[in-house]
Structure 1
């Protein structure tokens, strides 16, 4: 198969411009995602560099070699900046500019500029370093589960290795004379590889941005906006995931006399009490507990694998922690909570969560009827713990 250099250069420039325009369009619609702006700029700048490379022997060498490589190194630096911006890290503009500046400064040295090998080694070292740093940035933050993150990091790392491979190749292989078929072939091959990486990297970064947006939308849909804990929907989803986990205990919390707090002190104090309760409960709830707000002043917690005694002990710990709360807005306000506890006897079926919730609600009703600020266990005979 014959690789036609002018055609591949033209196609590469066209694809990079289109990808850059799509990035910039996406950025204009989601300005908070600055990474899209950096990556769009990287594609446009890279397209300009490929254009200058493709005009070799048509325009002066200081443009097709000196300026072209500086522009290309700037494009690689912007990709690194885009990766850092995507991860919420500071974009090091001086370091991004350092690559092109070092290149231009080196080109002012006649022996360096006259040596093809020296030029290839320096440009490859800087471009590969930018790709490797971008790959490291993405890989370092893989704790955020985005399906396209690992492929993007691996792709950038492979691009870094491919670029760095030019360094030993330059030292070992003789350079073809300007204008020979061998040189034309390498220009075409490099354009083809650049085209493949441009498309692949662009698609993966777009996919990561989409995955993060979807994850954020899911988080918002499953989070109570006031307290930041799971909402009723998320809690029900957690119960469905725990169906096959075995026996599960449910703690149902209701803040005592909460309406009176709102009526007496206002909703600002009421909100502060709700937020304080969540903070106090989360500090003492065990790892693996699914804690959420059902609505108003009512909260629930699922304890997978907990025995009745363990669930009762956890409920009592929460009750005592809440009793020590003193809202900053009203330091003299005493806050208490009533808790109903129920436990499934085996693996939960499709409707068992609602059944468990009903049992805990009965226990909670008894806790409030018996004077509040206490824990009551559900069962054939409701038992008070405290």
Structure 2
């Protein structure tokens, strides 16, 4: 098989159609990921544009030039729209349509339509802008750690630069030979580059969707569904990392007489108390704290680098705040919490999370035995915090 322009046009169209179908199939199975639908449509429209380009000389110029470039610019805009949709941002449909509409309006001006250079410059400027905006959209949300994010943004940025490079090239290089584009080296080069970018962008966006799905599943497996904080497994894993790095203090919380709340006011009220406690604790606990639900009405947090006095102070602040908490639906319901505090030097050989939890649990037992609604610090003699 000779890799001439007609062959490359056929291969490029085939690859684009296959990639577009795969995107749409993936979207049909994950409707929440609307970006897959945008990218599938972009690939299919790109295939239509390549077919129209490849038929230059066999069909009217208004189809192979005017409509072909309008379709191609729409496909480029949909890639930008797909990137924004993937990041949960509003899709700018009017701006996506502005590119091809500006192109079609320009083609109605005879001097512009007659100038190959003018057509290349305008089309390249719009298509490159769409790729650059898509790259910027992906790059600006790097806080969500997806391995394929940076490569996808860099690839789109490089595509934008390559497209924009046609502008100075048009101004300084001689015009390509006229005639059927299928017989020119220019079309072969453009088809080959489009083929490479089609495959690379498609693979990276598929990888991004897969990585996000895996991250969401991982977060769901590590999150308590009621309160939205870490569950016991996730908290234990984070606590082990903190303890391996240095000293830390553990605060063990138990909401007082919680069973009575459920029995008297119902489980909906009990759930509201749990959610309210977590929201309050999150506001009070220092940044970098590992906070999670151990089960039922029992919660724990690990304060990295905290000394005994600092940990006791934080615990007392939480206790006082909880005692002033009044659920909106049940303003007469008084909520209190008992807290056990334990500290460990941390580092290798200083014990694990479960042993530290055992120390805090003994302190918590003493707090409840002494009347609840208090803080007890683990250590020799187990002392209550004033």
1:339-354 correspondence runs (5 A): 339-347=339-347, 349=349, 352-354=352-354
1:191-340 correspondence runs (5 A): 191-340=191-340
Residue ranges of structure 2 left out of the alignment (5+ in a row): none
Query: Following TM superposition, by how much is the alpha carbon of 1:176 offset from its aligned partner in structure 2, in angstroms?
Result: 2.4
Q: What does residue 146 of structure 1 align with?
A: 146
User: 1:101-132 deviations in whole A, cap 9, x for unaligned?
Assistant: 11111111111111111110111011011111
Q: What does residue 365 of structure 1 align with?
A: 365
Equivalences, count: 386
Counterpart CA distance in 2 for 1:262 and 1:243 is: 35
Q: What does residue 31 of structure 1 align with?
A: 31
The answer on whether the counterparts of 1:84 and 1:134 sit within 8 Å (CA) in structure 2 is yes
Residue ranges of structure 1 left out of the alignment (5+ in a row): none
Q: What does residue 378 of structure 1 align with?
A: 378
Q: What does residue 87 of structure 1 align with?
A: 87
Q: What does residue 10 of structure 1 align with?
A: 10
Counterpart CA distance in 2 for 1:356 and 1:45 is: 60
Which secondary structure does the structure 1 equivalent of 2:283 belong to?
helix
Q: What does residue 20 of structure 2 align with?
A: 20
Q: 1:348 to 1:58 in 2, by over 3 A?
A: same
Q: What does residue 107 of structure 2 align with?
A: 107
Counterpart CA distance in 2 for 1:352 and 1:168 is: 64
The answer on whether the counterparts of 1:326 and 1:334 sit within 8 Å (CA) in structure 2 is yes
TM-score (norm 1): 0.97
Which secondary structure does the structure 2 equivalent of 1:170 belong to?
helix
Counterpart CA distance in 2 for 1:118 and 1:268 is: 67
TM-score (norm 2): 0.97
Which secondary structure does the structure 2 equivalent of 1:23 belong to?
helix
Query: Following TM superposition, by how much is the alpha carbon of 1:177 offset from its aligned partner in structure 2, in angstroms?
Result: 2.5
Q: What does residue 118 of structure 1 align with?
A: 118
1:78 aligns with 2:74: no
The answer on whether the counterparts of 1:240 and 1:350 sit within 8 Å (CA) in structure 2 is no
Query: Following TM superposition, by how much is the alpha carbon of 1:268 offset from its aligned partner in structure 2, in angstroms?
Result: 1.0
Counterpart CA distance in 1 for 2:136 and 2:341 is: 48
Counterpart CA distance in 2 for 1:191 and 1:260 is: 72
User: 1:297-353 deviations in whole A, cap 9, x for unaligned?
Assistant: 000001111111111111111111111100111101111000001111332559521
The answer on whether the counterparts of 1:242 and 1:348 sit within 8 Å (CA) in structure 2 is no
Which secondary structure does the structure 2 equivalent of 1:178 belong to?
coil
CA root-mean-square deviation: 1.6
**Runs of 4+ residues over 6 Å off in structure 1:** 180-183
The answer on whether the counterparts of 2:5 and 2:183 sit within 8 Å (CA) in structure 1 is no
Q: 1:61 to 1:365 in 2, by over 3 A?
A: same
Which secondary structure does the structure 2 equivalent of 1:380 belong to?
coil
Counterpart CA distance in 2 for 1:314 and 1:216 is: 32
Counterpart CA distance in 2 for 1:199 and 1:370 is: 68
Which secondary structure does the structure 1 equivalent of 2:311 belong to?
helix
The answer on whether the counterparts of 1:339 and 1:367 sit within 8 Å (CA) in structure 2 is yes
Q: 1:149 to 1:346 in 2, by over 3 A?
A: closer
The answer on whether the counterparts of 2:256 and 2:373 sit within 8 Å (CA) in structure 1 is yes
The answer on whether the counterparts of 2:181 and 2:187 sit within 8 Å (CA) in structure 1 is no
Counterpart CA distance in 2 for 1:161 and 1:346 is: 51
